[in-house]
Amino acid sequence: MNSDRKAVWSVKGWLAAILVIAFWAVAGAPVGAASFQPLEIVTKNGVQVFSVEMATTAEEKETGLMYRKELADGKGMLFDFNPEQEISMWMKNTYVSLDMIFIRADGRILRIAENTEPLSTKIISSRGPARAVLEVVAGTAQKYGIRPGDRVGHPLFGGK
């Protein structure tokens, strides 16, 4: 009888350990961990490749890069506002200064709002119909010579 109790407690101990490990594994992973996709911008200086998170749902577009304390060079977030429309963005609860690149449905850059002010509720407009907005760390457009009219390659625009 004593050995049966030990066996039961041994099994319960193993199950508890497995549950704790499983909880840590799940809790350690970011909720809705983003998958990254490649995006290319063809400039006069050559092709610049970025790794972007997609914001396609209303919730993803509303949250965007809010509450993040850093954004690495070469990373970004691509917001899909299909169909093409006038787009308004802001920097509320966004701690990192960004360059916002407004992109037409054909993949051409319409406008760039550079070095946006963190935490600002000032509206930043596309100033014309756009399909998407690419948010990258401030200074990226100047660093890589990205200009209106440059072409963006990504499946959203019928390209790579």
CB 115 within 8 A of CB 100: no
Residue 20 has pLDDT above 60, yes or no: no
CB atoms < 10 A from the CB of 154, how many? 22
3-state helix, strand, coil split of the chain in percent (to 5) is 25, 40, 35
Q: What is the pLDDT of residue 22?
A: 38
Nearest by Cα to 130 from 66, 92, 56, 79: 79
More confidently predicted of 114 and 31:
114
pLDDT at 29: 36
In this prediction, residue 5 carries a pLDDT of 56
What per-residue confidence (pLDDT) applies to 108?
A: 98
What angle is formed at CA 155 by the lines to CA 150 and CA 158, rounded to 5 degrees?
70
Query: Is the pLDDT confidence value at 33 over 80?
Result: no
- Distance between first and last Cα of the chain: 68
pLDDT, residue 41, reads 98
CB 134 within 8 A of CB 39: yes
The pLDDT, as a whole number, for residue 35 is: 83
Residue 61 has pLDDT above 60, yes or no: yes
Q: What are the phi and psi torsion angles at 68 (to 5°)? A: -80, 140
**pTM of structure:** 0.78
pLDDT range class, residue 147, cuts 50, 70, 90:
very high
Cα dihedral across residues 100, 110, 150, 78: positive or negative: positive
Mean pLDDT score of the chain, rounded to an integer?
Answer: 86
Query: What integer pLDDT is reported at residue 10 of this predicted model?
Result: 56
